[in-house]
């Protein structure tokens, strides 16, 4: 009996040491798992090429989306839809395209850069004639652009800026284009047109209603009859070769949500 007691006393420290090692190993493994799980939370950067006229609405949407998806960083590339479409066609690393014109968007669908089922016509807009707010203007309608006293007016370059294409269509339909063509100062996008008017570098400009709404330096003189130009529809779609297709799909779906649509309406876009 005494021998057994001596044996137990001798082995007890060894057993306690083994148990302590086992517990430490389990703690280390648990810690490793936590670190691995944390390391696997990948930060995703989505690049969205969007028409310049969307900038203010998309900035608001970006802020709201960030709160719900902190792991996703939205990077925007704004410009004329035609120029953006060309960049994507030439392989620019883009995840989503938000165009101000269906024809530019359709070219990417036809080329296979965007799957048809991954695109939707999301919002609409209106075309307006604006003049500098601080100056007395003799312009009261689109037809007044033909007056001799009007020296310069601005629209976006029709080949690459949808707003410019719509403006040209309207002026032709109203039989004003031939009288104003020599006065036109072309701009790289609709925001540049707005800037020309705000600074008084031109007597008038044709921009989207949403752009005019964000400026306190211009007055809206008239709204173009929708029948004088191609319907203004903004389609958005996912680039097929996106490195983050799932995340792009999630943002694409969010843009169609009630929350996002309210933001678009707040900034003057039509959603029906």
Does some domain include residue 97?
Answer: yes
1-12, pLDDT tens digit by residue?
A: 444 444 444 444
Average pLDDT over residues 193-200: 97
Query: Is 81 annotated as ligand-binding?
Result: yes
Point out the least confidently predicted range of 33-47, 119-133, 226-240, 242-256: 33-47
Instruction: Kindly tell me the burial class for residue 214, based on how many C-beta atoms sit within 10 Å of its own C-beta (0-12, 13-18, 19 or more).
Output: middle
Q: What share of the chain is helix, strand, coil (3-state, %, to 5)?
A: 50, 25, 30
The region that residue 112 occupies, defined by phi over 0 for left and psi between -120 and 50 for alpha, beta otherwise, is left
Q: Is the per-residue pLDDT at 265 higher than 70?
A: yes
Q: Is the per-residue pLDDT at 110 higher than 60?
A: yes
Beta-carbon-side half-sphere exposure of residue 127 (alpha carbons within 13 Å):
27
Same domain, 145 and 105: no
What domain range is 252 assigned to? 44-124+233-266
Does some domain include residue 32?
Answer: no
Does some domain include residue 21?
Answer: no
Query: How do beta strands 218-223 and 204-208 pair?
Result: unpaired
DSSP letters spanning 40-63? T---EEEEEEEEGGGHHHHHHHHH
Q: Residue 134 has what pLDDT? A: 82
Does some domain include residue 48?
Answer: yes
Helices (H) and strands (E) in the chain, counts: 10, 10
Does some domain include residue 85?
Answer: yes
Number of structural domains the chain divides into: 2
Does some domain include residue 178?
Answer: yes
156-183, pLDDT tens digit by residue?
A: 999 999 999 999 999 999 999 999 999 9
Same domain, 63 and 112: yes
Point out the least confidently predicted range of 26-35, 88-97, 245-254: 26-35
> What does the alpha-carbon distance between residue 196 and residue 142 come to, in Å, rounded to a whole number?
18
Same domain, 77 and 88: yes
Which is nearest to 113 in space by CA: 97, 102, 131? 97
Same domain, 102 and 167: no
Same domain, 195 and 242: no
Q: Residue 41 has what pLDDT? A: 60
Which one-letter DSSP state was computed for residue 229? S
Binning pLDDT at 50, 70 and 90, where does residue 17 land? very low
Same domain, 83 and 211: no
Query: Is 53 annotated as ligand-binding?
Result: yes
Same domain, 63 and 111: yes
Contact 121, 270 (CB under 8 A): no
Same domain, 101 and 146: no
Give the pair of three-digit tokens for residue 54.
Answer: 């969307």
Q: Residue 135 has what pLDDT? A: 81
Point out the least confidently predicted range of 3-7, 56-60, 134-138, 226-230: 3-7
Same domain, 145 and 53: no
Average pLDDT, the chain: 88
Does some domain include residue 13?
Answer: no
Q: Is the per-residue pLDDT at 202 higher than 90?
A: yes
Contact 223, 126 (CB under 8 A): yes
Beta bridge partners of 97: 49, 237
> What does the alpha-carbon distance between residue 234 and residue 231 come to, in Å, rounded to a whole number?
10
Q: Residue 38 has what pLDDT? A: 36
Domain boundary (228, 243, 258) is at: 228
Average pLDDT over residues 40-59: 91
Q: Residue 167 has what pLDDT? A: 98
Give the CATH number, domain containing residue 73: 3.40.190.10
Same domain, 97 and 63: yes
Same domain, 258 and 167: no
Same domain, 238 and 220: no
Average pLDDT over residues 29-55: 68
Beta-carbon-side half-sphere exposure of residue 50 (alpha carbons within 13 Å):
21
> What does the alpha-carbon distance between residue 97 and residue 109 come to, in Å, rounded to a whole number?
11
Query: Is 160 annotated as ligand-binding?
Result: no
135-155, pLDDT tens digit by residue?
A: 889 999 999 999 999 999 999
Does some domain include residue 39?
Answer: no
């Amino acid at each position: 009996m005494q021998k057994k007691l001596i044996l137990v006393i001798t082995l007890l420290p060894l057993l306690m040491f083994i148990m302590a090692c086992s517990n430490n190993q389990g703690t280390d493994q648990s810690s490793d798992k936590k670190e691995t799980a944390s390391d696997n939370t990948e930060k995703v950067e989505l690049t969205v090429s969007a028409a310049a006229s969307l900038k203010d609405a998309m900035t608001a949407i970006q802020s709201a989306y960030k709160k719900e998806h902190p792991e996703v960083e939205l990077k925007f590339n704004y410009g004329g839809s035609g120029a953006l479409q060309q960049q994507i066609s030439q392989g620019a690393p883009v995840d989503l395209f938000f165009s101000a014109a269906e024809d530019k968007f359709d070219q990417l669908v036809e080329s296979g850069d965007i799957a048809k089922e991954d695109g939707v016509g999301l919002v609409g807009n209106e075309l307006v004639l604006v003049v500098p707010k601080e100056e007395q203007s003799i312009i009261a309608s689109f037809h007044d652009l033909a007056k001799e006293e009007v020296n310069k007016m601005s629209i976006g370059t029709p080949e690459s800026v949808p707003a410019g294409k719509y403006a040209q269509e309207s002026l032709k339909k109203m039989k004003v284009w031939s009288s104003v063509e020599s006065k036109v100062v072309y701009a790289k996008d609709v925001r540049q047109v707005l800037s020309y008017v705000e600074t008084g570098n031109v007597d008038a400009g044709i921009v989207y209603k949403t752009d005019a709404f964000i400026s306190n330096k211009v007055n809206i003189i008239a709204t173009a009859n929708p029948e004088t130009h191609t319907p203004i529809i903004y389609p958005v779609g996912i680039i097929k070769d996106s490195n983050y297709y799932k995340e792009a799909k999630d943002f694409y779906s969010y843009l169609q949500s009630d929350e996002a649509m309210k933001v678009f309406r707040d900034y003057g876009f039509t959603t029906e």
